[in-house]
Amino acid sequence: MTVLDSTTDPATLTMTFVAEFDAAPEAVWQVWEDPRKLERWWGPPTYPATFTRHEFVEGGECRYHMTGPEGDQHHAWWRIESIGKPHTLELTDGFAGDDGEPLPGDEPVTMRVTFEPTDGGTRMTTVTHFVSTEQLEKMLEMGMQEGMRLAMGQIDAVLASAA
Amino acid sequence: MVVDDWSDGELDRVFHALADPTRRDILVRTMRAGESVSSLAGHYRMSFAAVQKHVAVLERAGLVNKQRHGREQIVHGDPETLRRATTLLERYERLWTDRATRIAGILADEEGNTT
């Protein structure tokens, strides 16, 4: 796996992530389509995801939760907006209440994923668009302790290079 | 904690301020060196009052601060606030890097199983 590009744009609240994998687009597509594979990578290791509903068709609804180290559960949902197997996928990802259903008034994140064949592999591009800064903050709060520690390390590096 | 210091609405003001090209330009200019509002106004095809408004939006977001220097207000960019906003998005990037690593692991497992 190679991360080719990762760009954040604070002005438009967009994050673009490009990575290449040594597998055909059909295989990379499977890690999204197959809920048991999806669960192995969507949540951080300390906040594994469980998909209790996974309708991987256009207009389909998905429900999942992440379980934290204290047994705390954080519910969320997807709606599959479009499917162009195995090349394009568009979905919205939002927060849900304890009943697992979307929180009214919550603004979901939209995500567009493309899978392009390369020499013996696949280039996967994910463009995430946040509608609000609260959404981004919540996203980061949800089971991202690990990422946070790493981010702290990055801050030190930034400060060191600025000095 | 540094990155979690945002108060309610503060982050919104930062991203709102950054969403305008003139304000981003003001920020870049004043980040390098302080510049007076009247000098800034000379760069744009808009009224002094309009530039002043842009500066006020940046100031409310904590992206710039103004210092009185004689009769003039000197605008200085605040790199700290910008860095904090970027850090937030970088944390999301980090999340994706970790996910990609796990995806690669799954794909490698499968290859091991089929060959």
Strands A49-54 and A61-67: antiparallel
Domain formed by B8-113, architecture? Orthogonal Bundle (1.10)
CA-based angle A123:A125:A130, to the nearest 5? 170
What is the domain partition of chain A in residue ranges?
3-162
Say yes or no for a CB contact (<8 Å) between B107 and A15: no
Domain formed by A3-162, architecture? 2-Layer Sandwich (3.30)
Contacts of A154 in chain B (CB under 8 A): 87, 90, 94
What is the domain partition of chain B in residue ranges?
8-113
How many angstroms separate the CA atoms of A51 and A49, rounded?
7
* Chosen from B93, B109, B113 to mutate, greatest number of chain A CBs within 10 A: B93
| Residue A148 to chain B, least CA–CA distance (Å) | 7
Residues of A in CB contact (< 8 Å) with B are: 1, 3, 6, 8-13, 15, 17, 19, 21-23, 27-28, 31, 37, 40-42, 44, 124, 126, 128, 132-134, 136-137, 139-140, 144, 146-148, 150-152, 154-155, 158, 162
Closest CA to B41 of B30, A24, A19, B32: B30
Out of A41, A132, A147, name the one closest to residue B94 (CB).
Answer: A147
Contacts of A150 in chain B (CB under 8 A): 94
Counting residues of chain B whose pLDDT is more than 90, the rounded percentage is: 38
Number of H helices, E strands in chain B: 5, 3
Say yes or no for a CB contact (<8 Å) between A140 and B93: no
Question: For tokens 């390390």, what's the residue?
Answer: A153
User: What pLDDT, in 10s, does the model give residues B25-42?
Assistant: 898 888 888 999 999 999
pLDDT tens per residue, chain A (163 residues)? Answer: 788 877 777 667 788 889 999 999 999 999 999 999 999 999 888 788 999 999 999 999 999 998 888 888 889 999 999 999 999 999 999 888 889 899 887 778 899 999 999 998 999 999 988 776 666 666 666 544 444 333 333 333 433 444 3
- Greater confidence (B115 vs B77) lies with B77
User: What pLDDT, in 10s, does the model give residues B89-115?
Assistant: 677 778 888 899 999 999 998 877 655
Task: Please state the pTM of the whole predicted model.
Answer: 0.67
